[in-house]
Amino acid sequence: MKYRHIILIIILAIFMASCKDETKVESISLDPSELTIAIGEERQIELTINPLSATKYNTKFWSSSDKNVATVDSKGNVTGIYAGTCTITATVGDKKAKCIVTVKTPTYKIQMDSAIIFDNGIDETTGASIKILRLYEKGLIIDSTGEAFGNGMIMNLHLYSQTTADALATGTYQIDESEKEYTAKPGKLITSEDVTYATGSFLGEYSDYGISVLFAVKGTIDITKNNDSFSIKCSMEGEKNEHMDIQWEGTPIVFRTDSASKVTELTYNSIATEDIITDDKSQTKHTKIIFECGEYQLSVLFRLPLSTQSGIPNGLYKSDLHDKSFTISDDESRLLKGNEIILIKQITMNVSDGNFDGSFTDFNGQIYTISKRKK
């Protein structure tokens, strides 16, 4: 009799087990429960559902507490977006499991290729000399107005220095709001007339999608000089402790705020001719003339009659948006000074028996004239 009771209990247990709801989720877990990744790195979190049979009966949901730090897709793939910490949560049925994700703080170590300085005069309150120093990569072009074109990294530094005959006063500058000598203004966003822009000291990246910036809130800029060559070393931190190690060596290009009131006279001693295209639709031939003018090189695109065999026919040429004969294209004309490309406009050129005389302006209002160098 005793054995019969035992057998009945076993049979009952097996029966109860067989009646268990295989669709109900009893528990879930994530592996790992903590994760550290870099910006742009992708890792998968493994989700375990108990019982396994419940997997096909329940939908899995994934979510991130902060998509600016990390995102997660429907398969548990986590991607680091930017420095910080967030929680990735998996939900199956009425059960939840969490993974703490930390995205590592980045370090930007960049050797810049070029530098340009904008001399903005003297601060009336502190008496410090105001300099806007921009260090940038080869993929960028910065014109005399400060506009940047192309793709690449740029370090914008808003410096307050001693007044000096040099382009920059050497020494160590501190990121500081005081606007006193040997300080650099911290970076921030400013909105004026419904336009928002970055100002102060910041690291920026220009791309086809626009510009992204990282503001410098503390740190130092060391400027030294050896003969005519400057050395600039920036060691700064951002709002989330991002580290910026930016360096550059060389001779910067300098623009001063009073330069637009003067006329720059260019003289050329040689020219080169380059045929670009023949446009049958507009019945024009495009020819580029490159003028060598000492430290400057001027490139002007002339639109000529289609019948032109060689050279530039005599006549008066002016800038025009329309593709027609005896005009000049502003968009395809440039003034080069060292590594800098200056965008120009309002070009007028008088051509007489192979000699060129003309004038134009840049986008900062600076006026230029050009003529053949006299022997």
What are 47-106's pLDDT values in tens digits? 999 988 887 778 899 999 999 999 999 999 999 999 999 999 999 988 999 999 999 999
Amino acid identity, position 217: V
Q: Which of 136-140, 141-145, 289-293, 362-366 has the highest mean pLDDT?
A: 289-293
pLDDT given at position 375: 62
What value does the mean pLDDT of the chain take?
87
pLDDT given at position 260: 41
Q: Residue 361 in contact with residue 345, Cβ under 8 Å?
A: yes
The residue with greater pLDDT, 366 or 36, is: 36
Mean pLDDT within 156-171: 86
What does the pLDDT look like over 222-243, one tens digit per residue?
999 998 789 999 999 999 999 9
How deeply is 363 buried, as exposed, middle or buried, from its count of CB atoms within 10 A (0-12, 13-18, 19+)?
A: middle
Mean pLDDT within 345-367: 86
Mean pLDDT within 309-329: 88
pLDDT given at position 182: 95
Query: pTM for the complete prediction?
Result: 0.58
Measured CA to CA in angstroms, residue 333 lies from 293, 299, 312 at distances of: 15, 5, 16
What does the pLDDT look like over 243-297, one tens digit per residue?
999 999 998 887 765 544 467 889 998 999 887 777 667 788 899 999 999 999 9
d(CA 341, CA 351): 25
